[in-house]
């Protein structure tokens, strides 16, 4: 295995609130190799966005990284000062947010936003940067890019705006993209196009990606490996084939069973009973134990770490050997 591009080690993110400290991320570790796509799934509130925000160093107070490290090329980036981290953001790690209607500044033309990003990070003069910006708009499939560059965000449709956002995230040629539900806010009919674009550009540029999504179909098609999050922890992580076809964690298995198969019609989906606990009410032992069909006495007493489970790693006592 090549040296990882990104490594997250035992990351813990806490929120200090009036009603005590909430642990939004607990002991999260993962790696992403150069050019690799790591999919991330999990229920709402599991901590997917928080993981992405921690990686780009944009966790907002009262949240803070309480423990653990984030390393890029083996260099810690979680403790950089703002102006040092600024040279990582955009240049090394790009970000794509969920809602393209709100991620673009309404008062600046898309060209201006592209040019300012390019000139911030690359040694180009404004004229060269503008040329580069037009090239990027063409690459993300904006028709008549040379004219559209001077348009304002509101003059584009939602799908086109997300293409602009993708251009903005990629235009300083980062080596990693954190894409947090990049298509959730889009029309169903254009979701596939945008994902295909993202996948193609990442492959062409050799950009690694952390792809957060609720869509297992997208994961199966796009990701190399998958991390399944549950209540602020990683429940299982491994190659996409094994996670989808032969999951080792009961939660992953439940998640997969709740996805309608494409090849046959089903009358009833096997949804997981109950819901994920709130951060303030995570049960002792395995966080999944109230909902787990295979729960046994150890699960209620002790919390499982990620354990080797064949081809994947799963936080489940069923895989404790010896």
Partner 1 sequence: MLAVSFISFAMFTYVGDPVAIMLGQDFTEAQRAALVAELGLDQPFFVQFLKFIGNAVQGEFGLSYRLSRPVAELIAERAPATLELALCAAVIAMAVGVPMGVYTGLYRHSILSRFFLTFSLIGVSLPTFLIGILLILIFAVALGWLPSFGRGDVVRLGWWTTGFLTVSGLKALILPAITLGVFQLTLIMRLVRAEMMEVLRTDYIKFARARGLSNRAINFGHALKNTLVPVITIAGLQLGAIIAFAIVTETVFQWPGMGLLFIQSVGAADVPVMAAYLMLIALVFVTINLIVDLLYYAVDPRLRIGKGAH
Ligand X SMILES: Nc1ncnc2c1ncn2[C@@H]1O[C@H](COP(=O)(O)OP(=O)(O)OP(=O)(O)O)[C@@H](O)[C@H]1O
Bridge partners for 179 per DSSP: 96, 211
Give me the 83-112 binding string for ligand X, x by CB under 6 A, dash otherwise: ------------------------------
Q: Which is nearer to ligand SF4, 206 or 284 (by Cβ)?
A: 284
Q: Report the C-alpha gap between 81 and 321 in whole angstroms.
A: 43
Other beta carbons within 10 angstroms of residue 264's beta carbon come to 6
Q: Find the length of the chain.
A: 322
Q: Which is nearer to ligand SF4, 55 or 315 (by Cβ)?
A: 315
* CB 132 to partner 1: min, Å: 15
Tell me if the bond preceding 297 is cis, omega within 30° of 0: no
Using rule CB under 8 A, residue 184 touches partner 1: no
Residue 87 binds which entry of partner 1, ligand SF4, Mg ion, none, CB below 5-8 Å type-dependent: partner 1
Q: Which residue from 49, 51, 92, 312 is in contact with Mg ion, where contact means CB under 5 A?
A: 49
Give 317's DSSP letter: G
> Do residues 222 and 39 lie in contact, with contact meaning Cβ atoms separated by under 8 Å?
yes
Q: Which residues have a Cβ under 8 Å from the Cβ of 316 and sit 6 or more positions away?
A: 235, 236, 248, 249, 250, 286, 288, 304, 307, 309
Q: Which residue from 2, 18, 44, 106 is in contact with partner 1, where contact means CB under 8 A?
A: 106
**Taking contact as CB under 8 A, which single stretch among the options 31-39, 167-175, 267-275, 286-294 is the one that binds partner 1?**
167-175
Ramachandran angles phi, psi of 21, nearest 5°: -95, 125
* CB 278 to ligand X: min, Å: 7
Q: Which is nearer to Mg ion, 49 or 222 (by Cβ)?
A: 49
Which residues contact ligand SF4 (rule: CB under 6 A)?
Answer: 249-250, 286, 288-289, 292, 294-295, 299, 304, 316-318
Q: Report the C-alpha gap between 100 and 154 in whole angstroms.
A: 10
Judged by the rule CB under 5 A, the positions of this chain that interact with Mg ion are 49
């Amino acid at each position: 295995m090549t040296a990882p591009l990104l490594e997250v080690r035992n990351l813990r993110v806490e929120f200090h609130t009036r009603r005590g400290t909430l642990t939004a991320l607990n002991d999260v570790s993962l790696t992403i190799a150069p050019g690799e796509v790591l999919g991330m799934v999990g229920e709402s509130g599991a901590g997917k966005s928080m993981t992405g925000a921690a990686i780009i160093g944009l966790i907002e107070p009262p949240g803070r990284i309480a423990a653990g490290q984030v390393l890029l090329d083996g260099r810690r980036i979680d403790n950089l000062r703002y102006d040092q981290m600024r040279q990582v953001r955009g240049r090394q790690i790009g970000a794509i947010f969920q809602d393209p209607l709100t991620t673009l500044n309404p008062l600046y033309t898309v060209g201006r936003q592209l040019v300012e990003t390019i000139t911030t990070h690359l040694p180009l003069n404004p004229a060269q940067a503008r040329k580069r910006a037009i090239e990027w708009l063409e690459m993300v499939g904006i028709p008549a890019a040379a004219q559209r560059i001077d348009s304002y965000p509101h003059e584009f449709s939602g799908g086109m705006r997300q293409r602009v956002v993708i251009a903005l995230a990629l235009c300083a040629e980062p080596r990693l993209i954190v894409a947090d539900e990049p298509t959730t806010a889009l029309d169903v009919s254009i979701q596939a196009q945008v994902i295909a674009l993202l996948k193609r550009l990442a492959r062409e540029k050799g950009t690694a990606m952390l792809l957060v999504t609720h869509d297992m179909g997208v994961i199966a098609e796009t990701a190399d490996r998958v991390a399944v999050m549950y209540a602020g922890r990683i429940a299982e992580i491994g190659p996409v084939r094994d996670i989808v076809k032969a999951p080792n964690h009961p939660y992953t298995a439940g998640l997969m069973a709740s996805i309608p198969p494409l090849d046959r019609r089903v009358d009833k989906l096997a949804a997981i009973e109950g819901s994920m606990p709130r951060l303030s009410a995570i049960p002792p032992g395995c966080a999944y134990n109230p909902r787990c069909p295979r729960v046994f006495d150890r699960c209620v007493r002790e919390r499982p770490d990620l354990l080797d489970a064949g081809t994947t790693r799963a936080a489940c006592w069923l895989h404790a050997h010896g």
